[in-house]
Homo-oligomer: A and B are copies of this chain.
């Protein structure tokens, strides 16, 4: 493994805004488009294996600056967390011959209980057996393994939903600290039938403590059905 990589910070507005939700829709779309552009550029370097886009908002989510920003770190290795997620999805695909995320989307669209927001191209859900209170995932409804392959229309609708879901979380949880992370397939793997990129939002309303560190299990006092119902209404 070569000791190379990249770290970039997206400063989300020239004015001192502290949340994406203060930006006009067009600016949020530009930001998501910029995430895509930077990944497409950096993956041209074959030494780079994985790019992770994330946002830390609020001190307890690890943010050291209040000016609204997000980050990109590109690594010369595929992280174990990503590898595990891919392996799990592949095992399900081997069993069902369907992408697990496509199955989740079909189920949640029909069931509606854990659905937060649904547009033509994008769905936001509180996932079944959520690890964290008000954990919310945003997924493209059409199968796609790599975030950076999404179309301009996808980018625009993703941005539209992201801004509104974050606003719902801000209202519901009184402006919580949160992290979001885009989960996407590694740079140089071809289109994956079994993997589906998505964005995970983790509001930081409970602390990770000894039990979670020692087991990897999570204790979540809020059922995702309740969280989704609440978020639909705000």
CB contacts under 8 Å to B, within A184-232, are 200, 202, 206-217
Q: Smallest distance from the beta carbon of A178 to chain B beta carbons, Å?
A: 9
Chain B residues lying within 8 Å of A181, measured Cβ to Cβ, are: 210, 213-214
CB contacts under 8 Å to B, within A67-92, are 71, 73, 75, 79-82
Q: How many copies does the complex hold?
A: 2
**CA–CA, A157 to B223, complex, Å?**
44
Given the known inter-chain contacts A60-B60, A207-B61, A210-B54, please indicate yes or no for A80 contacting B216, CB distance below 8 A.
Answer: yes
**Residues in A lying within 8 Å of B, measured CB to CB:** 52, 54-56, 59-63, 71, 73, 75, 79-82, 179-183, 200, 202, 206-217
Could you give 22 example pairs across A and B, Cβ below 8 Å?
A: A52-B211, A52-B214, A52-B215, A54-B211, A54-B213, A56-B207, A60-B60, A61-B207, A62-B208, A73-B211, A75-B215, A79-B214, A79-B216, A80-B215, A81-B214, A81-B215, A82-B215, A179-B210, A180-B210, A181-B210, A182-B214, A208-B208
